[in-house]
Amino acid sequence: MGKKVFVGVDGCKAGWFAVFLEEENENGCRWKIELFPEFSCLVDFLKNDYGQADPLVLIDIPIGLKTGGDGERLSDTGARSVLKARKSSIFPVPCREAIYEETYEKASEVNERLTGKRISKQAWNIVPKIRDVDSFLIKNENFREKVREVGPEICFQSFAGFPMKYPKKKVEGFLERKEVLANFCAFSDEVLRYALLKYRRKDLAKDDILDAFAAALTAKMGSIYGFTCVPYKPETDIKGLKIQMVYCECTEIRSRVSTKSNVKTNKSKKKR
């Protein structure tokens, strides 16, 4: 088994934005960022740049699709229960029959006929990306355990110990998520600055960078402290894809971060 590489992926206007974190060594944790037009290009990059490394990819996109009449994905209903205050960030995923329709009107008609619900424009906007990952995993069974679904808002909540107060598109929301990441990773601001300089906002939004980094950090922490799965026992769709979200509770890590913060505060008081 090769060295571990942890990858966080979020969809953006230009395709997929990914943050790569290697296992820590005497030189610390090495990182890379890249933008890919298709998910298969990301996998090719992994093979070419990381060779025999063992990847864990956490991606913010629905993996595993229910067929019409089978009800909503338990991963989505479970994620909303975890998030509570920010549960609106988890929207209903169209059924498999609707996902591969060519137009919004037709897909929404099919979804309503089979599930009783039409498709939101927000959900339809990410359908091409759902298809991209879905078709790749159907054809590449060896990657199914290496690519897992994640919800960035759950990641941020787990890091902070409480739900984010502001929507991520607002300035306040961006800043609070940025601060949460900085508390857990010394080089998170460096990654953010580099990504903002390397890519244009019309291709990559600021919140996409934070979401991908949160997913990468979750992959790295989860490999050490373990993952919480929603639901605990995954559903499996008709194509054999696992329907389950993962995140890291981060309770032990938050305790360490809080202790360090208190030490710094006490030292500051003594200096005064």
Sequence ranges of the domains in the chain: 4-62+133-271
**Predicted local confidence at residue 51, as pLDDT:** 84
* Model pLDDT, residue 58: 98
Of 77, 90, 160, 163, the C-alpha closest to 122 is: 90
Task: Kindly report, residue by residue over 128-174, the tens digit of the pLDDT.
Answer: 999 999 999 999 999 999 999 999 999 999 999 999 999 999 999 99
Q: What is the pLDDT of residue 89?
A: 87
Report the chain's mean pLDDT, rounded to a whole number. 91
Does residue 16 surpass a pLDDT of 80? yes
Q: Is the pLDDT of residue 204 over 70?
A: yes
- Within 8 A by CB and 6+ apart from 233, the residues are none
Per-residue pLDDT at 261:
47
Measured over the CA atoms of residue 135, residue 136, residue 141 and residue 144, the dihedral's sign is negative
**Mean per-residue pLDDT, 5-17:** 98
Residue 264 pLDDT level (bands cut at 50, 70, 90): very low
Nearest to 100 by CA among 76, 132, 69, 122: 132
Q: How confident is the model at residue 126 (pLDDT cuts 50, 70, 90)?
A: very high
> Which token pair is 212?
């991908």
pLDDT at 272 over 50: no
Tell me, what's the pLDDT at 266?
Answer: 45
pLDDT at 151: 96
Instruction: Supply the pLDDT for residue 252.
Output: 66
Query: Bridge partners of 245?
Result: 149, 230
- CA pair distance 106, 111, nearest whole angstrom: 9
Give, as one character, the DSSP assignment of residue 95: P
Instruction: Spell out a b/e string for 170-190, using b for 16 or more CB atoms within 10 Å of the CB, else e.
Output: eeebbebbbebbebbbeebee
State the pLDDT at residue 254. 67
> pTM for the complete prediction?
0.92
- CATH code that applies to domain 4-62+133-271: 3.30.420
Give the residue, 1 or 71, on which the prediction is more confident: 71
Q: Does residue 202 or residue 270 have the better pLDDT?
A: 202
Q: Which of 93, 25, 28 is nearest to 62 (CA)?
A: 93
